[in-house]
Chain A
C-alpha cells in the first residue's frame, strides 16, 4: 500500500512547478511530477499533452522556462544531456537514436568511447556490452551492424546504451509504438527485471493497454497541465481515458451493414527489388468497393513501398495492378489521381504538404480536376480556388485564421486535416491512407475515422495502413497482415485477435482456412 507523497521519504525524481513555453504555446503549465525509487510510473496523455516535453526537460534536452528538478532530494540543473546522463538519467527514445552504419557496440559507446591512449578500444566496448547483456539476459550481438537487427532488438540496444552510462532512472518514450504484441510482452518482462534491481522507470505513452499492464502509478497530462496521479491498481482504463480526454470517446465510427461488391483493385504478384533487396515479394490481394482494408505490420514490412507503387510514385519491378479494370502500373501519378485514387502519405511535412505555401494552395495540390482552377487555359482561377478551399476548411473544421495563411503555421493535427480534406474529396474513389492519424489529438482522430467510415458506407474504398493495431482492428472490414515484404494473410476483422495478428507480424505462418474471410458479411 503506497501513498502518493510522503514528506519523510525522498522521491527519486521530483519535478516542481515546471513551466515550459515555446513561441505561442505553453507546453508544460506548472507541472508537479514525482516518481518513487523502484517504481514503474506511466506519464500519459494524448498527442500534444506535453509528456515528451516534460521528459526532455528531465533529460536535459530542453531548459524549463521556470521550475526546478530534484533527484533524490538534491536540486539539479541540466544544461545538456551530458549533465542528465551523469546524474543517472537515461532515455530510450521513440525514434531510436542509432546510426545504422555503425555496429551495435559502436552505437552504445558513442560519446563515451573507451580508449587505449589515442585509439578507440573496440574490444573494451564489446566486452562492456556483453557484460550488460548477460546481466539482463539480452541476446544482442555487439558486433552486428545496427542496420541489420530488428526493431525490438534496436530497442534493447537503446536500453543497453542507457545502462552502459549507469542510468538509475530510465525514461521510455512511446516504447511500444513499433513493437509487435509479443515484443510488447517481452518488454514488460524486461521492465520487471529492471525494477527488480532497483531502477526507476518512467513510461511516456498514450497506449492504455500497456499502461494498465505494466505500471504501478499513472500521472495524466492534458493540454500541458497535470490532471491527476492515481495508483494503477485503483483505476480503470475508462477512467484514465476520461481523464486524458475530458470526455467519453467512441473511435470505431458508424459501420453500416453492406452487401459485398465487386473488386475495385486487384493486385497480383507485385514485386519490388532495389539494390539487391526484395522489398515486396509477390504481394497479391483484392480490394472491394465499399470496404476498409486495413494493413497491419511492423514498420518496414513493405507498407510504404506498396502505397508508393499504387500511387504511382515508384515503379514496381514485377507483377500487375488492375484498378477499375485497367492497368495501373504503367501510368503516371497524375493520371492515377485523375482516375480517382487519393493518397494520404506517411510524412505530412515531407510528402504531403508544401509548408511554405498557403492553405488554399495546398488544398488544390495535385487535384484531379485541376481544369476547374484554370482560367483561359493557363491562368490561375483564384475565385474558384478560394471557393473550393473555403468549402474544405469548413467541412473539416480546420482551425486557421484565414485561407492565405502559410501551412507551416498550423498545428500538426490541422496540417494532417488539410491533407485528408484534399484526398478524400468527392472525386476520390479509392483512398490510400498511410498512417493517417499519426500525431493527432483524439477529436481529430474521431473525425478522420468518421470520414473513412462515411466513404466506405457510400461505396468507396479505403486502404488503411497503420502502425496502431487498435485503429486497424476497429476500423477495418478485413485486415491484411504484412511481414518482410510479403502478405502473410488477409483475415476478417470481426473475428481477428491481437495474438493472431501479432504472430503474423513477425512472420509466423497463419492459421488454417476456417478463419479466412467469407464471401459475404
Chain B
C-alpha cells in the first residue's frame, strides 16, 4: 500500500486537473493551425460537460454520456464552421458569443430540468479499475479516469496526424496562406470546417471529462477558466503538441496548488485570495511568453466571392 504522501497527492491532482486543458488544447491546436482562433473553447467545453451529464442522466451509461458530450461539441464546431469559416465572421466575436450563449442555454436548461444550478448525481467515470491489478503502481494508476488515458493517447495521435499525414500538412498550409492551398486545388473551406468540427468534438470530450471524470454531475460555471486556459495553452505551447501538454501541466500545477492550500490547516491563507492563484499564474505565464509567432493567416477570414455583399 502506498503512503499518500503530499507529493503523490499533488501529482495525482495535477494530472486530474490538467487533463481537460490538455484535451481541450489538442482540439484547439487543429483549429488554430488551420487559421481559426479558438476563443470559443469555453463555450464548447460547457456544451460538452452539460450534454455528457445529460446523456448519462437519461441512459445511465457514462460512456454514452461521453459520446453525447462529443456530439454537442461537434455541433458547436459546426456552428463555428458556418459562421466563421463559411461566412467569414469575426472569430473573436463568435468565440465570445458562443461562450455567453452556451453558458446561458445550459443554465436555462438546468433550471428547467433540475430547478437548480447543480444537476442530479449521475454515473461517473472516476476510476479505471481494471488497472488495479498492476503490481506496484496499479493502485495509483487506477485512480485516474479512463478519459485521462484517452487524453494521453490523443496527444500522440494528434502529433502524428499533424506532422506525418498529408492532412496535417494541408492544415499547416491553410493556416499560413489559404490562397496557396486554393490554387493547389484543395477546398480551403472544407478543410477549415473539418478542423473546426474536429476541434469541437475534442473539446466536447474535455468537457465530458469535467462532468463525468472529475465530478459526477454538472454545475453552473464548472468549466470556470479551463476553457480559456485550453485556449491560451495552444499559443503558449508554440503550437507543438508536446510543449502544449507541458504548458497545460503547468497550469494544472497552479490549480492543484490552490486546492491544497485551501484544504491545508497548517498555513492559513484567505481562501478567496488563494483561488486567484491559477489566474495570476496564467497572466504571468502569458506575459513571459508574449513573443510567440502565430500561424500567418490566423483570424483572417477567407471569404468566398459570392458572399461579398
Do A and B touch directly, given a CB cutoff of 8 Å in the complex? yes
Q: Are A111 and B184 in contact (CB under 8 A)?
A: yes
Q: Chain B residue with minimal CB distance to A62?
A: B305
Q: Are B166 and A102 in contact (CB under 8 A)?
A: no
Q: Are B169 and A106 in contact (CB under 8 A)?
A: yes
Check if B173 is an interface residue, CB within 8 A of chain A.
yes
Closest chain A CB from B33 CB (angstroms): 11
Q: Are B182 and A110 in contact (CB under 8 A)?
A: no
- The residue that A102 contacts in the complex, of B173, B179, B183, B186, with Cβ under 8 A, is B173
Which of A113-121, A266-274, A345-353 has 4 or more CB atoms under 8 Å from chain B? A113-121
- The residue that B181 contacts in the complex, of A61, A85, A91, A110, with Cβ under 8 A, is A110
Main secondary structure of the interface of A (DSSP, over half): loop
Cα A119 to Cα B166 with chains together (Å) = 7
Closest chain A CB from B159 CB (angstroms): 13
Q: Are B165 and A120 in contact (CB under 8 A)?
A: yes
Q: Chain A residue with minimal CB distance to B183?
A: A97
Q: Are A101 and B176 in contact (CB under 8 A)?
A: yes
- A260 neighbours in B (Cβ, 8 Å): none
- B235 neighbours in A (Cβ, 8 Å): none
Q: Which residues of chain B in 152-196 are interfacial with respect to chain A, using CB atoms and an 8 Å cutoff? A: 164-166, 168-170, 172-173, 176-177, 179-187
Q: Chain B residue with minimal CB distance to A111?
A: B184
A98 and B180 contact, Cβ closer than 8 Å, known pairs A115-B166, A120-B166: yes
Q: Are B173 and A99 in contact (CB under 8 A)?
A: yes
Cα A59 to Cα B179 with chains together (Å) = 14
Interface string of A75-87 (1 = CB under 8 A from B): 0000011100100
- A143 neighbours in B (Cβ, 8 Å): none
- The residue that B185 contacts in the complex, of A80, A93, A99, A119, with Cβ under 8 A, is A80
Q: Are A111 and B164 in contact (CB under 8 A)?
A: no
Interface centre among B179, B180, B183 (most CB of A within 10 A): B183
Cα A62 to Cα B179 with chains together (Å) = 13
Q: Chain B residue with minimal CB distance to A86?
A: B185
- B176 neighbours in A (Cβ, 8 Å): 99-101
Cα A101 to Cα B184 with chains together (Å) = 17
- The residue that B173 contacts in the complex, of A61, A110, A112, with Cβ under 8 A, is A110
Q: Are B166 and A93 in contact (CB under 8 A)?
A: no
Q: Which residues of chain A in 167-214 are interfacial with respect to chain B, using CB atoms and an 8 Å cutoff? A: none
- The residue that A111 contacts in the complex, of B165, B177, B181, B305, with Cβ under 8 A, is B181
Q: Are A97 and B180 in contact (CB under 8 A)?
A: yes
- The residue that B180 contacts in the complex, of A59, A85, A110, A112, with Cβ under 8 A, is A110
Q: Chain B residue with minimal CB distance to A97?
A: B180
Closest chain B CB from A57 CB (angstroms): 13
Q: Are B172 and A113 in contact (CB under 8 A)?
A: no
Q: Are A113 and B183 in contact (CB under 8 A)?
A: no
Q: Chain A residue with minimal CB distance to B309?
A: A23
Q: Which residues of chain A in 385-433 are interfacial with respect to chain B, using CB atoms and an 8 Å cutoff? A: none
Q: Chain B residue with minimal CB distance to A108?
A: B184
A81 and B172 contact, Cβ closer than 8 Å, known pairs A97-B179, A120-B165: no
Closest chain B CB from A393 CB (angstroms): 27
Cα A120 to Cα B184 with chains together (Å) = 17
- A119 neighbours in B (Cβ, 8 Å): 164-165
Q: Are B177 and A97 in contact (CB under 8 A)?
A: yes
- B179 neighbours in A (Cβ, 8 Å): 97
- A59 neighbours in B (Cβ, 8 Å): 183
Cα A349 to Cα B47 with chains together (Å) = 40
Interface string of B223-241 (1 = CB under 8 A from A): 0000000000000000000
Cα A502 to Cα B177 with chains together (Å) = 31
Closest chain B CB from A99 CB (angstroms): 5
- A81 neighbours in B (Cβ, 8 Å): 182-185
- A101 neighbours in B (Cβ, 8 Å): 172, 176
Closest chain B CB from A449 CB (angstroms): 32
- B180 neighbours in A (Cβ, 8 Å): 97-99, 110
Q: List 16 A-B contacts (CB under 8 A).
A: A61-B183, A80-B187, A81-B182, A81-B183, A81-B185, A85-B185, A91-B183, A97-B184, A101-B176, A110-B181, A111-B181, A111-B184, A111-B185, A112-B185, A119-B164, A119-B165
A-B contact sample (14 more), CB < 8 A, given A61-B183, A97-B179, A120-B169:
A59-B183, A80-B185, A80-B187, A81-B182, A81-B183, A81-B184, A85-B185, A101-B176, A110-B169, A110-B173, A110-B180, A111-B170, A111-B185, A111-B186
